[in-house]
Amino acid sequence: MSLHVLRWIMQIGLREANQQFSRLMKAVRRGREVLLTERGRPLAVVKPIRGGDETQSIIQRLETAGFLRPASRRKALPPWGPRSVRGVPVSETIRKERDER
């Protein structure tokens, strides 16, 4: 396994990262950064998100700007299900439209 540690950053190839994903995520949860490489070249860095307060600040700014609206209720949404439609079945309408072509 070609896992290297550069200061506080773990370096690992993509194939091994795929095979060791759970282990890498545990390291990220502990605050480590992981440098992903492809054929020895740096490709991406996976690192923990810092500061939950920062996230709340971003959400608040989006709400203030009108891009985000808080939920009107806290309970779960009802389960999705099919809706019944009056009239001719949709499948029949589609069949007729295809025949007209």
Tokens matching residue 14: 């993509």
CA distance to 57, 66, 69, 79, 83, per residue, from 86 (Å): 47, 38, 34, 22, 10
Per residue in 4-34, pLDDT tens?
544 567 899 999 999 999 999 998 888 889 9
Mean pLDDT of 51-60: 77
**Between 76 and 64, where is the model more confident?**
64
Do residues 35 and 42 lie in contact, with contact meaning Cβ atoms separated by under 8 Å?
A: yes
pLDDT band at 1 (very low <50, low <70, confident <90, very high): very low
For the chain, which domains are there? Answer: 4-46 (3.40.1620.10)
